[in-house]
Structure formats: C-alpha cells, structure tokens
Structure 1
Amino acid sequence: MELHVTQLSVDNGVGLVRLSRPGRGNSWTTRMNAEYRWLMSCLDDDPRVRVIVVTGAGQQFCVGADTKALDHYRESDQDYLESFRNDVMATPGHGVRPEYEHELIWHWGLQKPVIAAINGACAGIAVALAAYCDLRYAAAGAKLTTSTPRLGLPAEFGLSWIMPRIVGLTHSADILLSGRVFLAEEARAMGFLNGVMPRETLEEEVLRIARGLADSTSPVAVKTAKRQLYADLMRHDAGAAIEDSRELMGQLMKQPDFSEAMRAMKDKRPPAFSPLPGTAMGSTAS
C-alpha cells in the first residue's frame, strides 16, 4: 500500500508508525484508518519486529476525526455506520477472539505489544486508539479530551467500556460526561498513562523502552501474557485464570525460549530469544 497519511520505520526490533497529516493535526480519516490497519497487520506479521510504537508527526498526536468529515454527516444522507465499513481494509488482530474483531479493539488481538507515544494534542478517536494500546506515554503538558459531549455526541469507540477499566468509574464519568481538556500530568495521576516525559525526549525515551522490551523479553512469552491480560479482563473467574496460567506455564516450559533463558542465566549473558513466526515484509518495513 502506498502511504499518504502515515509513515513507517523499523529499527532494532521496533516498528515506528507515525500518523502524518501536516497542517491538519494528524486528524483521522478513512484513508488514515486504512493505512494504519495495513501497517499494523504487516508489522504484526514481520518476524523482525517485536514491539510497535505509535506516535504523531510534528507537535500533535492526533486531534481526532477530521472536522470536514464530521460536518459531512450533518449535511448528507450518508449513514455513519456504513462509512466505517472496512470490508476492504486489512484485519489486524482478527482470528483471536470475536470480541476483538471491531474497530480499534483489534489492537488486543495483535501478537506484539503496542506503545502509544502521545507527543501532543490527543482528542476524540485518538484517546480511544491510545486506550487500546498496551502501554501509553505522553509528552509533558500534552492535552487530552474525548470532545464528544461538547459536540452533542456520545462516548465513542467503546470508551464507556474501556475507560472505567483503566482509570475507574469516577475518573471516567468526569472525562466522558464533561469532555473537558485535561493534561498529561493529570492523565498520569488517573492511571491512564504509564509515564510523562519532556516533549523533546519523549520519542527517544519511548523507543528506548521499546528496544528494551524487544531485547530482553521472549516474544512468545509476551504474546502469551498479552493474550492472558485481555482474556482475563473479560471474565470474572479468578480461579479459571490461575488454572489457565498453570497450563500455559507448563506449555511454555517446553518451548525453546525457556531453555535459552535458563542457559543464558547460567552463562551470565543476555538470552537470544527466537522471533515469532511470520512473513517478513521486505521493502515494506524500510
């Protein structure tokens, strides 16, 4: 796919996806959705990539849906739901659980961890995108808002489901009912962010964290833990989670990565874990 509103680079086991609409605040469009889904599908299938980072070009992460596109629905007869049909788009994260085969929550079906590096304004759909990433870091002073109450619209993309699970009901009610702007520092205090960093060093620091994950963790173990994390979020049986984890422990103890970890510990060296199987993208990940 030819990229018009996104950018991609791959280095040291980390795939960096950049939302890029210069002059439009990296606002979200159908084209950006198509490119983003395609890139994430490719990166998830590339054995060279172990961690994925998502950020924005310039000084903003994503200011939400393009305002011209939003205004189009007000004046036209086009159905909003039909406009989000993605039959011809890539389907990253599909085939794991039916619950994940919907917009944005497909991030949970990916094999690899996804880190959001919120480098500036993050509004509307961008808040939801970040919420479905596995880890979230933001630049100091970055502004976040769901926006929708101030536009006469409801909570979107399942934010009413995911936000209480990240920050609790009290903070979620504040965020979703008011649509107010809040800063990265407050988002960190709520528990929405894993960390806040100076804007000038955010990308460098997040890439350092991503490379650390890529270098020091077993891809199959990370994939398994990610599957556990979100599957267990959907059920209420702690005992079943324990028994499933014991079964998985037995399975992974028979895998090459566990043997390599034991040898590396004995030899006092970093382990050389195997990549996840996949089809390398070749020139796509240039």
Structure 2
Amino acid sequence: MRVASDDAGPDPDLEAVLYEATPTGVAVVTLNRPSRLNAWGGDISAGFYSAIDRAEADPAVRVIVLTGSGRAFCAGAHLGSMATIGDSLGTPSANGKAPDVSTIVGERHPHFLTALRKPIIAAINGACVGIGLTHALMCDVRFAADGAKFATSFARRGLIAEYGISWILPRLIGFGAAMDLLLSGRTFYADEAARLGLVKDVVAPELLMTRAMEYAEDLAANCSPASLAIIKEQTYGDAERDVVDASARAEKLMGESLLRPDVVEGIVSFLEKRPPSFPTLQEGP
C-alpha cells in the first residue's frame, strides 16, 4: 500500500465512488476522491465493493470499466496528514500483533476482481501507485492515458509486495521485469508500461474513456457472457494447473458449452453476417 499522506481535505459533497450503467451493457465505476488523488481508504473501498457487486448482479451489465476522477487513477493508500499517520496505522497491541490494515485496505483483497464473472477493464487516467496499481493489475485489460505515472513504491516505504501483486505482476510482464519494478519501487510512465505489456494501449488523456468504452462495448455486443465468464475462470485458474490438467478441464468445459444456446447463436450470426444476440449471464458456470 503506497502511502498517500497529503493534507488535502476530503470531498464531503461527492460520492466516494460513482456508478453508471450504460445502455450498451457497460458499467462505469469511478473512484471519486480527486482532492486526494483517489487514494484508497475506507470510503472508497466500501463504495467500490458496492458498485462492483451491483454490476456483477445486473444481467444487463456485461462488462465493467474502472477509472478515476481528476488527475489520478489511485495514488496509493490514504493515511491522512502527517499529523495523523500514526493513528491511521495504529499501534501494536500488548501481545505484539501488527495493526489491522484492513481498516485502510478494506475487507476484500484486490484479487477478488479476478473471480468476477464479467470482464473488468481499467482506464488508467493518471497516477497508479501501490494498492491502486495492485487493483489495476487484477483487472483483465488495461488502457492508460499518455503520461500516467506508475510505481509499486513498497520497498521505498518499508513495505512488502502486497495483496497478490507478487503473484500477478510476473504473470503479466515476466519475472525479470517484475523484480525490477518491485525491488526498485521506481516511477515509470505509461509508454514503458505499454512496452512491458502492462497496458494494452496508451492514448491521449482526452481519448482514454472513448478508447476503453469502445473496447468494452465491443465485448458487450459481440461476445457471449457465458463464454467470457468461463474464459476468465479458466485463465486465472489454469495459472495454478499444469498443461495436462488445464487441457482436460478445457475439454470438459467445451462439452458443456456445446449444450448452451450461445454456440448456435454465435455460429448462425456469423453465417448471417449480423451482430450476435447472446443471452444474459445465468447463475452458475
């Protein structure tokens, strides 16, 4: 959790997280504490979980886009001002136990995003640091605004590779590059993030949401929700399986997919040269 400890006040008149479901089947979730660069805290975590749960439960929503308001995506964990940082961290108890960081981070670790049945696309509009970076990496696809800053920062704050970033980062960019970013904690920019494969595209800031929404809307319009859900589960789950197990499981899932109407619709719409009309995502796999 990279520490964001500026003295900027809260945004009392703003909802901490904004939610919009579009007619195109995309839910846009926006972290909305711009005065503190959307630094992660209890207000954002509660609103974030609520928004994600809402999108996941809504059959009309097929894809989720996550972004930030103002100049940042999420600049790390919010610990208040320098005067209150000790209170935010807490003090060890008499038996020597560490402070309860869940009061800052929230009740869910960022990897819960990989278990969603719907794709989640990160539109990284600005600073993406610490726990903000961890959340972005747990999204399925990332777009970044030109000039956006990235950093792990953990080693430079006396912290460790938190909440699964040591699991996801090497899988995205390779072991050597991941070790560089984790050990150095250095700042890097969107263009390097693209070269490393950390983000799909870098676009002008004013075009970021247009690009992310175009991508999300294409998935929503042309991809089977059931297929998307199962492919997500396969991809993250197969990271822990060997190739024999992964292939055998894929064969079983393929047989099950042939029983769904999505396959017929996918083939017929292709042959008829029209957009597919896939059914909404049902409960279960």
**Total equivalences in the alignment:** 263
Runs of 4+ in 1 over 3 A off after TM superposition: 73-81
Structure 2 CA distance for aligned equivalents of residues 168 and 57 of structure 1: 31
Structure 2 CA distance for aligned equivalents of residues 136 and 70 of structure 1: 32
Structure 1 CA distance for aligned equivalents of residues 77 and 57 of structure 2: 28
Q: Pairwise CA RMSD of aligned residues?
A: 2.1
**Pair 1:67–1:73, CA change in 2 (3 A):** closer
1:73–1:80 contact (8 Å) kept in structure 2: no
**Pair 1:232–1:57, CA change in 2 (3 A):** same
The amino acid of 2:218's aligned partner reads G
| 1:111-145: CA deviation from partner (whole Å, max 9, x where unpaired) | 10000110001111011001111001111111001
Q: For 1:129, which of 113, 128, 135 is the aligned residue?
A: 135
Q: Which runs of 5+ in 1 are unaligned?
A: 90-101, 279-286
Structure 2 CA distance for aligned equivalents of residues 211 and 252 of structure 1: 23
Q: Which runs of 5+ in 2 are unaligned?
A: 1-13
**Pair 1:198–1:114, CA change in 2 (3 A):** same
Q: For 1:275, which of 273, 277, 280 is the aligned residue?
A: 280
Deviation at 1:267, TM superposition (A): 2.2
Given the two structures, how large is their TM-score scaled by the length of structure 1? 0.86
Other-structure match for 2:68:
56
Q: How does 1:1-286 map to 2 (within 5 A)?
A: 4-11=15-22, 12-68=24-80, 71-73=86-88, 76-77=91-92, 82-84=100-102, 103-235=109-241, 237-277=242-282
**Pair 1:174–1:81, CA change in 2 (3 A):** same
Percent identical among aligned pairs is 38
**Pair 1:133–1:70, CA change in 2 (3 A):** farther
Deviation at 1:73, TM superposition (A): 4.5
2:79–2:88 contact (8 Å) kept in structure 1: no
1:141–1:183 contact (8 Å) kept in structure 2: yes
Deviation at 1:179, TM superposition (A): 0.8
Deviation at 1:63, TM superposition (A): 0.6
Given the two structures, how large is their TM-score scaled by the length of structure 2? 0.86
Structure 2 CA distance for aligned equivalents of residues 146 and 14 of structure 1: 29
Look up the SS of the partner of 1:136 in the other structure: strand
